Amino acid sequence: MKVLVVKNQKDADRQGVKIFRQAYKHGARTFGLATGGTPEGLYRELCQSDLDFRDCIAINLDEYVGLDGNHPQSYRYYMQSNLFNQKPFAETYLPDGMAPSAKVECTHYNWIIATNPIDLQILGIGQNGHIGFNEPGTPFTSTTHVVNLTPSTIKANSRYFKDESQVPTQALTQGIGNILQAKQILLMAFGPEKAQAVKEALTGKVTEDLPASVLQKHPHVTVLLDEAAAALLPSEWVTEHVQHIY
């Protein structure tokens, strides 16, 4: 695991583009993408870059159940607005939140991932350690599934809706087993509210109670943090594992 700490999120976004560029240079053509506040700046930087994704595939982590792609808070809408409209891909995949059968949709999405192995997967981390919508207690072997969102996740996502009552209570998400199949993973975390989860995920016990901790077992993970998200990492651990980029 490579841990990079930069001064602020803007510097992290620029560093993230460098990681994308290196992956592309070395043959990456299938990118696993995330949504939410964490990767927004990265996507802005990618849109301003000279990278061309027209020969690439994008496979997203998740989608809300009950929202179609035209809903302003759906992840399809988010991806179109923040990246795909400006940087077209050859193919873009997200779970279908309106699928008549969630079971069939999960099987189909697992097939998409298996058919298009992900070269570089982007991840954020929730305050409870979730990755994708894999909440604490999710088996590390899980594949694409329907998840009931926890109250803390619903509350965190309510900032994107008029009020908390409008936040969907379920989502379709890639499982942790799917995520671990990616050849390379980039985990990004910013701000003091992520510091405790980052500390536990990187330096604590590998446990399903903290889903992101499983990344300690992956052979090719880069963790990109701003100073605030890295603030609780033990000093002796930082000395051994962290590279500061300023």
End-to-end CA distance of the chain: 20
For 137, residues 6+ apart whose C-beta sits below 8 A from its C-beta are: 208, 209
Low-confidence ranges of the chain (pLDDT < 70): none
Does a structural domain hold residue 246? no
| Domain of residue 140, residue span | 2-241
120 is a domain residue: yes
Q: What is the DSSP string of 133-159?
A: TB-TT--TT--SEEEEPPHHHHHHHGG
Active-site residue (options: 135, 178, 200, 226): 135
The answer to whether residue 10 sits within a structural domain is yes
Interatomic CA distance for residues 207 and 213, integer angstroms:
6
* pLDDT value of position 108: 98
Catalytic residue among 11, 13, 119, 128: 128
**CATH number of 72's domain:** 3.40.50.1360
**Known active-site residue 62:** yes
Residue 135 known to be catalytic = yes
- Dihedral angle at the C-alpha atoms of 149, 152, 155, 156, nearest 10 degrees? -100
Q: pTM for this one?
A: 0.94
Number of domains the chain contains: 1
CB 49 within 8 A of CB 84: no
Q: What is the 3-class SS of 7-40, one letter each residue?
A: CCHHHHHHHHHHHHHHHHHCCCCEEEECCCCCCH
Q: What is the pLDDT of residue 160?
A: 84
Q: What is the pLDDT of residue 213?
A: 98
pLDDT in tens, 68-111: 999 999 999 999 999 999 999 999 999 999 999 999 999 999 99
Catalytic residue (one of 13, 62, 96, 119): 62
- Residue 212 resides in a domain: yes
Please calculate the CA angle 209-2-212 and round it to the nearest 5 degrees. 15
Coil, strand, or helix at residue 125? coil
CA distance 122 to 60: 9
Let me know if residue 13 belongs to a domain. Answer: yes
Classify each residue of 71-99 as buried b or exposed e, where b means 16 or more C-beta atoms within 10 Å of its C-beta: beebbbbbbbebbbeebebeebbbbbbeb
Q: According to the model, what pLDDT value does residue 49 have?
A: 98
What 3-state DSSP class applies to 4? strand
Confirm whether 68 is a catalytic residue: no
Q: What per-residue confidence (pLDDT) applies to 99?
A: 97
Bridge-partner residues for 242, per DSSP? 3
